[in-house]
Amino acid sequence: MIFLPQTLSFISPTAAIIIAVVGLILFGSKRLPEFGRSIGVSLKEFKDGMNGVVMTEDKEKKQIDHEEEKKSKED
């Protein structure tokens, strides 16, 4: 039995094999590894971009909080 992450638990092993065979037929054995690598790189860049957005939002929030503290101290 194959244990998959919770997000992919709905895919049965049979379905995964069928998807792999169809991918092999559509893209060929030479292009399939390239396709997999490009998907991996794209996912990594997406995650890095999302982390950057979160970090930027945190910095902006801290800056706004800092400005509000300055204004409250001046009053």
- pLDDT per position as a tens digit, 40-60: 899 888 888 877 776 777 777
In a domain, 23, yes or no: yes
pTM of the model: 0.45
Residue 70's domain comprises: 6-74
More confident residue, 61 or 47: 47
Strands (E), 1-75: none
In a domain, 64, yes or no: yes
Per-residue confidence band for 18, with pLDDT thresholds at 50, 70 and 90: very high
In a domain, 51, yes or no: yes
**Which are the contacts of 40, defined by CB distance < 8 A and separation ≥ 6?**
none
In a domain, 54, yes or no: yes
- State the Cα–Cα distance between residues 66 and 16, nearest whole angstrom: 51
More confident residue, 32 or 71: 32
Domain total in the chain: 1
In a domain, 1, yes or no: no
Hey, what amino acid is at 69? E
